[in-house]
Amino acid sequence: MTSNDENSCRFSESPLWELQRTYYEEQGIRAWQDGQVPYYITNNPMIASVYAGILFGFLQDRAAQGHLTEPVTVLELGAGSGRLAFHVLHELERLQADAGLPLPRLRYVLSDFAPGSIAFWREHPGLRPWVEAGVLDFALFDAVKDGELLLELSGERIGPGKLVQPLVALANYFFDSIPQELLYIGDGNVYECRVDLQLPESALAESAAEQLLRAEPSYAYDRAPQYEEASYPYAEVIRTYRQELEDSHILFPAAGLACLERLVRLSGEGMVLLTADKGDHRLEPWIFAVPPRIVRHGSFSLTANYHAIRQVYEGRGALCLFPGHHYRNLNVGCILSLPNAAAHIQTRLAYLRSVDRFGPDDYFSLKLGYEERLSLLEMQELLAFWRLGVYDAEWFLRGAGRMKELLPETSDEEQEDLRLGIRRMWEGYYTMHPDEKRKLAALSAGLLFEMGAYMEALGYYLEVLSDEAGTGETGEADPGLLHAAAVCCYETGEEAAALEWARRAAAAGPEHEEAWSLLKLLEADGAG
């Protein structure tokens, strides 16, 4: 099994990876705003609350061991939109306030290789409070080559040995999106799978996204005895594969492991890795594995090899926590590569409670099932799942219609809980796109209006109607929204404002009878 294709190259050196970098540089934050790149499963409030709980446990462990004076640095790799950081910091702030415990200070660093991401984070109002408090900083970081961090705001340079506390690295959808080697195991031998990326000549002038969509890889195989040498850094993992696997294709995370090697050197106290991806920590999925399927979604992604990462770090004495059950959509792991990993009791307990017992993967599976049965759910079920998801805005966007259908039959207590949920959702809402925010505000206002909570509803109607928003298909202001704002003002005693909104509603909707009726009533009463 030998390749003679002169156009082929190692999988980790394939043009696929450069196209992916170009894609993110071209698209910037639009890759997430426009829904090209899936991000919900690793950036929702529920997984953020899990991470915040584990981080809180880690801070407790450091405090219990007497390490209170130096900050703990959390580095989020490939942070993209910044949404995960927002939710994590929001939840962690709440935990710290409720507990009132003496804990080491936390410094959170958002990182990415694309300068456009940092520009977006700098301007995002949701992140500003933590920037101003000195909790949040940013860094350009290329996972393939960089070995130090230069913090954008403080100007601090973090090089090898600089950190006194262990580094905490967050890596969601990270290992599946950076270069990997593709190996083939057959008859106890290791082969490198070389790839030839076939692309129509007409596609060369197209965008990176179009090229990724049209590119088709073909594979050839070369014997690779260098992986079998005892001097190879991850020889033990390769030995396991040679002994246990046959006719199997392996995505090997050499670049990911090398990145972790550089990160762990930033602190003399080791590192904690919190990571979530599609990829198993067991050996079985790699048995008779066929060449990998490239999943395209604007960019592309593959499967992460958590088995290799786990074996490498367990061989070095790390404590590797992964679920005891099989994952469906997202595998969440926690690796404590620390001198005294077992002594970090609160960290381990937080993982067991919030991942192994019931975690983000379980939540996502339930969410998919609930969405399919949305029309059958009752208000208590809708509210209960909303609370389980930490008042997730996406669940509300999907479920608000069903909530409105059920409102006439709901109890006062359920309506009170719905109002509470709307408030808490907005407290933890991270704006990705103005259109989504306006839609969320319109749905919130509509439900509150139906419940007679006019003061609260008015605030959201004003959000929708601000900055020339709240327009209909013709581009004119929506008379229904204008009329609702007028009603809210009227019901709360703001008759002058009600008159102004009613006039606008009548002007925008000559056929809107309710708007004209309200306008006549207000004019007859001499409002304003």
Q: Which of 250, 274, 304 is the last residue of a domain?
A: 250
Q: Is the pLDDT of residue 470 over 60?
A: no
SS3 413: helix
Together in a domain, 357 and 389: no
Confirm whether 12 is domain-assigned.
no
Confirm whether 371 is domain-assigned.
no
User: Cα–chain-centroid distance for residue 79?
Assistant: 8
Helices 495-508 and 479-491: angle between axes, nearest 10 degrees: 160
The stretch 298-324 carries a mean pLDDT of: 92
Q: What stretch of H or E contains 108?
A: strand 106-112
Together in a domain, 268 and 217: no
For residue 392, the model assigns a pLDDT of 96
DSSP output for 333-402: EEEEESTTGGG-HHHHHHHIIIIIIS-HHHHHHHHHHHHHTGGG--HHHHHHHHHHTTS-HHHHHHHHHH
Q: CB-based contacts of 175: which residues, under 8 Å, 6+ apart? A: 253, 256, 275, 277, 279, 304, 305, 306, 309
Count of domains in the chain? 3
Confirm whether 242 is domain-assigned.
yes
The stretch 169-178 carries a mean pLDDT of: 93
Together in a domain, 265 and 308: yes
For residue 294, the model assigns a pLDDT of 73
CA atoms within 13 A on the CB side of 394: 17
For residue 52, the model assigns a pLDDT of 98
Q: Is the pLDDT of residue 184 over 80?
A: yes
pLDDT confidence bin for 287, thresholds 50/70/90: very high
Together in a domain, 160 and 50: yes
Together in a domain, 167 and 302: yes
What does the alpha-carbon distance between residue 254 and residue 234 come to, in Å, rounded to a whole number? 9
**Taking a C-beta distance cutoff of 8 angstroms, is the pair 75, 109 a contact?**
yes
Confirm whether 1 is domain-assigned.
no
Token reading at 513? 């009878």
Mean confidence (pLDDT) of the chain: 91
Give Cα separations from 99 to 50, 60, 388 (angstroms): 17, 10, 21
Confirm whether 368 is domain-assigned.
no
Q: Tell me: the pLDDT tens digits for 67-82? A: 999 999 999 999 989 9
The CATH number given to whatever domain includes residue 134 is 3.40.50.150
User: Residue 65 — left, alpha, or beta (φ > 0 → left; ψ -120 to 50 → alpha)?
Assistant: alpha
Confirm whether 235 is domain-assigned.
yes
For residue 3, the model assigns a pLDDT of 44
Q: Is the pLDDT of residue 93 over 80?
A: yes
Q: Tell me: the pLDDT tens digits for 353-378? A: 999 999 999 999 999 999 999 999 99
Q: Which of 224, 250, 276 is the last residue of a domain?
A: 250
| 84-101 residues labelled b (16+ CB within 10 A) or e (exposed) | bbbbbbbbbbebeeeeee
Together in a domain, 188 and 174: no
Together in a domain, 160 and 307: yes
The CATH number given to whatever domain includes residue 513 is 1.25.40.10
What does the alpha-carbon distance between residue 114 and residue 203 come to, in Å, rounded to a whole number? 24
Task: Give me the phi and psi of 520, to 5 degrees please.
Answer: -65, -40
428: domain range?
376-526
The stretch 471-497 carries a mean pLDDT of: 82
Q: Tell me: the pLDDT tens digits for 48-57? A: 999 999 999 9
Q: Is the pLDDT of residue 156 over 70?
A: yes
SS3 501: helix
Among 91-95, 156-160, 260-264, 471-475, the least confident range? 471-475
Together in a domain, 390 and 493: yes
User: Cα–chain-centroid distance for residue 393?
Assistant: 14
For residue 293, the model assigns a pLDDT of 78
For residue 18, the model assigns a pLDDT of 82
For residue 19, the model assigns a pLDDT of 80
For residue 2, the model assigns a pLDDT of 46
SS3 497: helix
Helices 513-525 and 495-508: angle between axes, nearest 10 degrees: 140
pLDDT confidence bin for 8, thresholds 50/70/90: confident
For residue 143, the model assigns a pLDDT of 93
Confirm whether 13 is domain-assigned.
no
Together in a domain, 304 and 443: no
Q: Cα torsion for 527, 481, 415, 378, to the nearest 10°?
A: 160
Q: Tell me: the pLDDT tens digits for 100-128? A: 999 999 999 999 998 989 999 999 999 99
Q: Which of 307, 331, 363 is the last residue of a domain?
A: 363
Q: Tell me: the pLDDT tens digits for 399-457? A: 999 999 999 999 999 999 999 999 999 999 999 888 889 999 999 999 999 999 999 99
Together in a domain, 320 and 267: yes
Together in a domain, 317 and 434: no
pLDDT confidence bin for 474, thresholds 50/70/90: very low
**Taking a C-beta distance cutoff of 8 angstroms, is the pair 509, 515 a contact?**
yes
Together in a domain, 194 and 130: no
pLDDT > 70 fraction of the chain, expressed in percent and rounded: 92
SS3 469: coil
Confirm whether 206 is domain-assigned.
yes
